[in-house]
Amino acid sequence: MRFTLNLATRTYINSRQVNLFLAGAGILLTLSAAGLAFTALGNSDREEKLRSELAAVDARVRASGKGISDKEYQSLLGKIKFANNIIRRKSFNWLGFLAWMENVVPDGVMVTSLEPSLKDGKLTISGVARNFGLMRKFLENMEDSKFFTDIYLLSQAEAKADETQKGVSFSVSCKADVTKL
């Protein structure tokens, strides 16, 4: 006896599961298409609103003339330059600078004046030393410092407070590199 098996007589695909899967996918696609359509309509409404606001602003600019006159523009540039100068003056690190000065100034030397020039970055330092050697030590300390460059002795003179107190007054010009603070 010989047994035969005919495999072609039975359907091996579960069509009920496939149909349920396709129906679920169709519902999801329909919902996502509806959501995208709703979003597109909302965006077109916003676009229309923005176009009308832009047209209103454009009409206002045209109605006001040709915009800003040269005189107003130059006035505005002057105000901006003034504000930038104030910001630049306030941004100088005075505490760091004075800490460097404390390291550079030896005992017996007194700094009486610091005059920064923001235009060219120069600094004029005036002071009094007990003697010429202390003034020279002050200049050498400045030269050894990585903070000060282009150091020039502008003036020196003998100073007398009274008959017992003598000293040397001096004035030095230099550049201070604020990036090294």
Helix (H) and strand (E) counts for the chain?
A: 4, 4
Residues paired with 124 in a beta bridge: 115, 173
Sheet with 122-129: strands ordered across? 109-116, 122-129, 166-176, 148-160
* In 4-112, alpha helices (H): 15-63, 70-90, 94-104
Give per-residue pLDDT as tens, 78-91: 999 999 888 877 77
**Mind listing the domains of the chain with CATH numbers?**
93-180 (3.30.1360.100)
Residue 77 has pLDDT above 80, yes or no: yes
Give the span between the Cα atoms of 6 and 24, in whole angstroms. Answer: 34
Residue 175 has pLDDT above 90, yes or no: no
pTM over 0.85: no
- 18 dihedral zone (left: phi>0; alpha: psi -120 to 50; beta): alpha
Give per-residue pLDDT as tens, 17-54: 889 999 999 999 999 999 999 998 888 888 889 999 99
Would you say 112 and 126 are in contact if contact means Cβ atoms under 8 Å apart? yes
